[in-house]
Amino acid sequence: MQIKLPKKALVTGAAGFLGSHLCRRLLDDGYEVTAVDNLFTGTRRNIYPLLENRRFQFVLHDITLPFWGQFDEIYNLACPASPFHYQHNPVETIKTSVLGIINMLELALKTKAKILQASTSEVYGDPLVHPQTETYWGNVNTIGIRSCYDEGKRCAETLMADFRREWGVDARIVRIFNTYGPNMHPKDGRVISNFIMQALHNEDITLFGDGLQTRSFQYCDDLIEAMRRYMDKPRAEIDAFFSTRRLGVPVINTGNPGEYTIKQLAEATLKLIPESKSRLVYLPLPADDPKRRKPDIALATELLGWAPKVPLAEGLEKTIGYFRGL
| Binding stretches for ligand NAD (CB under 6 A) | 12-13, 15-19, 37-42, 62-64, 77-81, 96, 100, 118, 120, 176, 178-179
Q: Is 136 a catalytic residue?
A: no
Residues 44-83 that bind ligand UDP (CB under 6 A): 82-83
Q: Is 162 in the site for ligand UDP (CB under 6 A)?
A: no
Burial of 168 (0-12, 13-18, 19+ CB in 10 A): exposed
Write down the catalytic residue from 124, 149, 219, 230: 149
Q: Is 190 in the site for ligand UDP (CB under 6 A)?
A: yes
Q: Are strands 114-120 and 56-60 parallel, antiparallel or unpaired?
A: unpaired
CB of 306 to ligand UDP, least distance (A): 22
**Which residue lies nearer to ligand NAD by CB, 39 or 283?**
39
Residue type at 113 in one-letter notation? A
Q: Which residues pair with 34 in a beta bridge?
A: 10, 57
Q: Is 194 in the site for ligand UDP (CB under 6 A)?
A: yes
Residue 19 binds which one of ligand UDP, ligand NAD, none, with CB within 5 to 8 A depending on kind? ligand NAD
Q: Is 206 in the site for ligand UDP (CB under 6 A)?
A: yes
**Binders of ligand UDP: how many residues, by CB under 6 A?**
14
Q: In 10 A of CB 206, how many CB atoms?
A: 17
CB of 75 to ligand UDP, least distance (A): 21
Residues 275-304 that bind ligand UDP (CB under 6 A): 286, 289
208-245: burial string, b at 16+ Cβ within 10 Å, e else? eeebebbbbbbbbbbbbbbbbebbebeeeebeebbeee
> Helix, strand, or coil here: 160?
helix
Separation CA 294–CA 259 (nearest Å): 6
Separation CA 264–CA 261 (nearest Å): 5
Separation CA 140–CA 126 (nearest Å): 7
Task: Select from 10-18, 163-171, 207-215, 245-253 the region that touches ligand UDP (CB under 6 A).
Answer: 207-215
C-alpha neighbours within 13 Å on the C-beta side of residue 267: 7
Binding track over 242-271 against ligand UDP, x by CB under 6 A: --------------------x---------
Catalytic residue set: 149
- The residues of the shown chain that bind ligand UDP, judged by CB under 6 A, are 82-83, 178, 190-191, 194, 206-208, 213, 215, 262, 286, 289
